[in-house]
Amino acid sequence: MTDRVRPYLYYDIAVSICSACYRKVEGKIVFEGGNVFLLKRCPEHGAERVLIADDVDYYRRSREVFIKPPEMPYHYNTPVKWGCPYDCGLCSDHEQHSCLTLIEICDYCNLKCPICYAESGPQRQQFRGLDEIERMLDAVVRNEREPDVVQISGGEPTLHPDFFKVLERAKARPIRHLMVNTNGVRIAKDEEFATRLAGFMPDFEIYLQFDSFKAEALKELRGADGRRSGRAVVQESLPRDHHAIHRRLRFRRAFGEKELCAYSPSRRAVDPVRHLQSVLSGRAGADATGGAAWDGERGG
């Protein structure tokens, strides 16, 4: 028996892509230091080590316990030809329907978040036209018939010149619950805009970015100190009885996890408990550690 052992516990094999050239590569999922990493290697660009979870027990429960038969869409959009991920659209090999669909109506944003996985920002001036957006909505309805949740996103969707027309088009379709994914800056600064949002209730929700009370954390995560706008959205701008606010928190352990539950606004507009979603996101280097921001939504 050898006394040489690897510094990790092997868990599973995975199919991934190279983050540089998008070539399909094999990888392995390993547990090390309480974290879950994906180790992969591209013949051209070398090895990558990606943090995909920072709680081994929860990750294993998600893979082994919280499972159910896959739910299928009513319509598939692309044929199976090259395999995952190149046939995505959805193809008939996809193992789940769209339980939450994002409609990205623009690439423009009024922030320059260093962790933005969409690479949105003021430099990207693209706004999708209403005709294209309606085709996107129609595709979602065709696939799901009555979509559970559709999220209007971007970029920063509230800056789209036809933003309210987009909401009207979405509400005219059999979508059970509509959300707007926003950084909240326009809502905080434009009272008339915030009041107009109230007209889209019921089954309408603001999915609000709200990260920290610390300037240091906000500057690292968002590229700017947004403490005033965040408080303004939650405490002042949205009418008390008209909006549910779904708070989405991105954080770094270095700034302290206690902030996640430190703020519980008394206003009934805020949905304080139902979904306190902590999302680790962004780009990590080839040797990401548990303290680094990481891409928790794209996957490895």
At 31-41, the pLDDT tens digits run 999 999 999 99
63 pLDDT above the threshold of 80:
yes
At 238-271, the pLDDT tens digits run 544 444 555 444 444 444 445 544 444 444 444 4
User: Does the model's pTM come out above 0.75?
Assistant: no
CATH class for the domain made up of 98-278: alpha beta
Taking alpha carbons only, the member of 206, 180, 99, 89 closest to residue 147 is: 99
Crossing angle for the helix pair 163-171 and 130-144, to the nearest 10 degrees: 30
The conformation of residue 232, written as its DSSP 8-state character, comes to H
Taking alpha carbons only, the member of 114, 108, 123, 194 closest to residue 153 is: 108
Confidence of residue 85 (pLDDT cuts 50, 70, 90): confident
Contacts of 200 (CB under 8 A, 6+ apart): 167, 171, 178
Start-end of CATH 3.20.20.70 domains in the chain: 98-278
CA–CA dist 287, 254 (Å, integer): 17
